[in-house]
């Protein structure tokens, strides 16, 4: 089965992350597939809105820790070469260039949280969980941070990142990540997308230009990606990642 499934409906598409064995974790294969599908959708004039969701009642559990751990021994040049995938996957909403409604079930953690925050509208199940646990591994959520700030404001973003709190749908709605909570978020998201697809394509394109112009990142994503590369050289990141996988307390060395 493809890592990303695209279901086309009348005027809108449903994009399904389907990396089920890894809880839809953003490994390199899934990330590349998302970027490819985003470019394809951007060129399809029959698609006027998109629903982004995950298979098996899980949105996206963040990074693939096995792939992440394997990358810790790589040098800066390796991470620089992979920056196009690692960074661009969080830019898929801008690449699509059309309204994106995220339908969140299960987990939206780390990179999954970043994808939810980048969407224009978020519909969540009552049981969904959100958060940025990256600092527990020994790395800051550099690349997704501008999207999180744009969605919930700097102070809320800073608290979530530093406290590494995992919040429920009600709290996510209170701070602005989630717009609506429904037992079946995918069906609700489809109704929203269908409603958007009924609008004038010309006016909708102008609206998206206005929305995108007003939400341009204030922080250079390439600068944040560079900080991420530097962070990958830290010994403490290896310590934190291993401890996180073993569910033990990391013994930081400050290196």
**Single pTM value for the model:** 0.84
Position with higher pLDDT, 225 vs 126:
126
C-alpha 10/C-alpha 222 separation (Å) is 37
**What tens digit of pLDDT does each residue of 5-58 get?**
999 999 999 999 998 888 999 998 999 999 999 999 999 999 999 999 999 999
Structural domains present in the chain: 4-197 (3.90.226.10)
Inter-CA distances, 61 with 57, 58, 103, 246, Å: 11, 7, 14, 17
- According to the model, what pLDDT value does residue 81 have? 60
Q: Which residues of 28-66 are buried (b: 16+ CB within 10 A; e: fewer)?
A: ebbbbbbbebbeebeeeeebbbbbbbbbeebbbbbbbbe
**What tens digit of pLDDT does each residue of 64-110 get?**
777 666 656 666 666 566 556 667 899 999 999 999 999 999 999 99
- According to the model, what pLDDT value does residue 51 have? 98
Q: Is 121 helix (H, G, I), strand (E, B) or coil?
A: strand
Listed in sequence order, the DSSP H helices in 44-110 are 65-71, 76-81, 83-88, 92-96
- According to the model, what pLDDT value does residue 241 have? 77
Mean of per-residue pLDDT scores for the chain: 87
- According to the model, what pLDDT value does residue 47 have? 97
Are the CB atoms for 7 and 14 separated by under 8 Å? Answer: yes
- Of 17-31, 48-62, 210-224, 232-246, the one with minimum mean pLDDT is 210-224
Residue 181's beta-bridge partner residues? Answer: 124
Residue 139 — φ and ψ, nearest 5°?
-140, 145
Nearest Cα to Cα of residue 60 among 138, 144, 156:
144
């Amino acid at each position: 089965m493809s890592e990303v499934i695209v279901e086309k409906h009348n005027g809108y598409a449903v994009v399904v992350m389907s990396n089920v064995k890894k809880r839809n974790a953003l490994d390199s294969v899934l990330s590349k597939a998302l970027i490819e599908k985003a470019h394809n959708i951007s060129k399809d004039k029959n698609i006027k809105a998109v629903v982004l969701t995950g298979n098996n009642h899980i949105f996206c559990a963040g990074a693939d820790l096995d792939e992440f751990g394997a990358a810790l021994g790589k040098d800066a040049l390796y991470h620089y070469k992979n920056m196009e995938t690692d960074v661009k996957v969080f830019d898929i909403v801008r690449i699509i260039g059309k309204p994106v409604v995220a339908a969140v079930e299960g987990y939206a953690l780390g990179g999954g949280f970043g994808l939810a925050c980048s969407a224009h509208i978020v519909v969540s199940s009552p049981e969904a969980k959100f958060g940025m646990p990256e600092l527990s591994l020994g790395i800051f959520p550099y690349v997704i941070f501008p999207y999180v700030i744009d969605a919930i404001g700097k102070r809320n973003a800073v608290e979530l990142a530093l406290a590494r709190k995992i919040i429920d749908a009600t709290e996510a709605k209170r701070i602005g990540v989630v717009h609506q909570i429904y037992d079946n978020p995918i069906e609700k998201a489809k109704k929203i997308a269908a409603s958007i697809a009924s609008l004038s394509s010309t006016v909708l394109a102008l609206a998206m230009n206005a929305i995108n112009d007003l939400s341009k990142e204030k922080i250079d994503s390439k600068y944040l990606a560079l900080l991420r590369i530097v962070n990958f050289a830290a010994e403490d990141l290896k310590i934190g990642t291993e401890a996180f996988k073993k569910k033990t307390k990391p013994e930081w060395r400050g290196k």
